[in-house]
Amino acid sequence: MSDNAVLQMTDIRMRFGSHYALKGVSLSIRRGEVFGLLGQNGSGKSTMIKVLAGFHQPEEGSKVVLWGQEMALPLDQMDIKKRGVAFVHQHLGLIPSLSVVENMRVTALGRRNPWLVSWKKEAEHVAKLFAEFDLTIDPFAIVADLPPVERAFVAIVRAFDDLKSSDAGYGGEGILVLDEPTPFLPAEDVQRMFALIRSIVKTGASVVIVTHDIDEVLDITDRVAVLRDGELVSVLDTRNAERQTILDTIVGSRIDAFAKARRTEARPAAISIRGATDGTSQPFDLDIAEGETVGVTGLIGSGFAALPYLIYGARKGFGQLTVQGKTINLSSITPARAQSLGIALLPGDRLGAAGIGSLSVADNITLPVLDAHMRPYGLDRRSMDREAARLSQVYDIRPPRPDMMLGALSGGNQQKVLLAKWLQIKPKLLMLDEPTQGVDFGARQQIFKALDRATAEGTSILCASTDNEQLEQICDRVIVFSKGRPVAELKGGEITRKAITEACFYSQTPHAEAAE
Name the 3-class secondary structure at 221: coil
Same structural domain, 116 and 223: yes
User: Residue 64: inside a domain, yes or no?
Assistant: no
Count of domains observed in the chain: 3
R_g of the chain, CA atoms, integer Å: 24
User: Residue 192: inside a domain, yes or no?
Assistant: yes
Q: Which domain holds residue 148?
A: 33-54+84-251
The string of pLDDT tens digits covering residues 80-119 is 888 889 888 877 788 888 999 988 877 655 555 556 677 7
Same structural domain, 306 and 411: no
User: Residue 349: inside a domain, yes or no?
Assistant: no
The string of pLDDT tens digits covering residues 129-165 is 888 888 889 999 999 888 878 888 888 888 888 777 6
**Domain end call among 251, 271, 297:** 251
User: Residue 317: inside a domain, yes or no?
Assistant: yes
Same structural domain, 173 and 203: yes
Q: What is the pLDDT confidence band of residue 187, given thresholds at 50, 70 and 90?
A: low
Same structural domain, 199 and 102: yes
Same structural domain, 444 and 495: yes
Same structural domain, 43 and 168: yes
Tell whether the model's pLDDT for residue 408 goes beyond 90.
no
The kind and range of the H/E element at 147 are none
More confident residue, 247 or 171: 247
Biggest CA–CA distance in the chain, Å, is 72
Say if residues 62 and 11 touch (Cβ distance below 8 Å). yes
Q: What is the pLDDT confidence band of residue 14, given thresholds at 50, 70 and 90?
A: very high
For residue 498, the domain's CATH number is 3.40.50.300
- Segment among 13-17, 53-57, 111-115 with least mean pLDDT: 111-115
Q: Percent helix, strand, coil in the chain (nearest 5)?
A: 40, 25, 35
> Which amino acid, one-letter code, is at 479?
I
The string of pLDDT tens digits covering residues 451-509 is 999 999 999 999 999 888 899 999 999 999 988 889 999 998 899 988 888 888 764 34
Same structural domain, 333 and 188: no
Nearest 5°: CA angle at 165, between 161 and 171?
Answer: 95
Please give the model's pTM, rounded to 2 decimal places: 0.65
Tell whether the model's pLDDT for residue 398 goes beyond 90.
no
Same structural domain, 383 and 290: no
Say if residues 270 and 460 touch (Cβ distance below 8 Å). yes
Tell whether the model's pLDDT for residue 1 goes beyond 50.
no
User: Residue 18: inside a domain, yes or no?
Assistant: no
Same structural domain, 39 and 141: yes
- Three-state SS string across 146-183, please? CCHHHHHHHHHHHHHHHHHCCCCCCCCCCEEEEECCCC
